[in-house]
Amino acid sequence: MTFDRRIWPVNDRVVAYWLADRFPGRMPVRPADHIVSVPVLDLSLSPGGRRDRQLLYGWSFAVLERCDDFAFGLCPAADYVGWVAANALSPSDNRTPATAAVLGRQTHAYERPDMKSRDVAALPFSSLVVKGRTQGRFAQTEIGWVPVSHLDGKRFEDPTQVARLFLGAPYLWGGNSAFGIDCSGLVQSAMNACGLSCPADSDLQEAELGHTLPPGTPYAANDLLFWKGHVALVVDPVMLIHANAYHMAVAYEPITQAIARIEAQGDGPVTRHARIDLAGCNRSIPAKPFHLSKNTHNPDTRNHATPAGDRA
C-alpha cells in the first residue's frame, strides 16, 4: 500500500481512528480539535522541519499526537497533515465558533476601535474570527478591533479576483498568506475563497483540479497551467498570474513569455492545461470553522504523486 504523508493522518505511532484497519501496528486516535491562535503557523512534515505549508489564525487543527514542543495532526482548511508548534494552538472548546473571515488581503486588529490605537495583530486573508459588536467602522473580535470593511461586504465568484489581492506579495516556499506565498498556495487561496475545494500542493492540484484541455485550446480566465512543480492561474487569453521564484513575488506574466522562459531555464514544457468548473463558485469564504469529519483526507480519492519543488 502506497500512501502520501501529506494527506494521510498517520505516522509511525498513531493513526486517525477511521484508518485503523489499514495500519494495525499504530494506535488509533480520535483527533482533538484545536484552533490556530497565531496569525501564521508553519506546518512541517517532520517535527521542527522546514516549512511545507502554513495555517492561518482561527483555522481548525485536529491533534493526533504531541511530542515535545510539537503537535501532529491535520488541518482541513489547508488540506494537509503534519507537525506544528504546540504552543500556537488552543483547544477549540475554549473559543466560540468563528463567525467571520478576513476578506481583505490582510488586516490589523487594534486595541480599541480607533485606527490610531495600538495594533495588536496582523491577520492575513481568510483568517477566521469571532465577530462581536460594532462601533463605528470597527468590529470587536476575540483578538482586537478589526475594520468592518475587512470582514464584510465581499463575495468571491472569480478565483482570479482573489489572486489579484496577492499581487506583489513576496514569494515564500510553503507560504499561504500575503506575508509570503508560493504558487500552489496562491491557487488554493483563490479556489477556496470561491467555495471550491482545492488541495495544497501543485502536483495534487494537477491530479485533481478541473478537466484537461487538448493542446492548442485558447486560454480563458481561471484556467490552470501546470509545469513540473509549478502552477499558474490564467487571467485572460494572453496573461497569467503566479507566485514564482523568478520574480520572487506574485506577478503577472504574458503566457507565451512564461512558457518560453520556464522551458528555457530547464524546467520543461506545460504538462497540463486545465479548466475549472465554476458553477459552484458563488460563495464567500466560509464564516465558520472548518470542522473535522472522517471523510477528511480520504486516501482512496487522492493522488499520491511525489511533490516537486517550485522552480518557475
Q: How far is CA 99 from the centre of its chain?
A: 19
pLDDT digit string, tens, across residues 158-200: 999 999 999 999 999 999 999 999 999 999 999 999 999 999 9
Q: Place 296 in a pLDDT band, splitting at 50, 70 and 90.
A: very low
What is the Cα–Cα distance from 23 to 11, expressed in whole angstroms?
10
Q: Place 290 in a pLDDT band, splitting at 50, 70 and 90.
A: very low
pLDDT-above-70 percentage for the chain: 88
Q: Cell 508553519 sits at which residue?
A: 42
Does position 128 have pLDDT exceeding 80, yes or no?
yes
Top-confidence residue, 198 or 287: 198
Does position 284 have pLDDT exceeding 50, yes or no?
no
On whether the CB atoms of residues 105 and 95 are closer than 8 A, the answer is no
What is the Cα–Cα distance from 14 to 296, expressed in whole angstroms?
17
Q: What is the mean pLDDT of the chain?
A: 90
Q: What is the CATH number of domain 14-94?
A: 2.30.30.40
pLDDT digit string, tens, across residues 24-35: 999 999 999 999
Q: Cell 488541518 sits at which residue?
A: 75
Does position 301 have pLDDT exceeding 70, yes or no?
no
Domain map (residue ranges) of the chain: 14-94, 100-150, 159-275
Q: Which helix (H) or strand (E) holds 193?
A: helix 183-193
- pLDDT confidence of residue 304: 41
In terms of CATH, what superfamily is 159-275?
Answer: endopeptidase domain like (from Nostoc punctiforme) (3.90.1720.10)
- pLDDT confidence of residue 279: 78
Please name the residues in contact with 24: beta carbons below 8 A apart, sequence gap of 6 or more: none
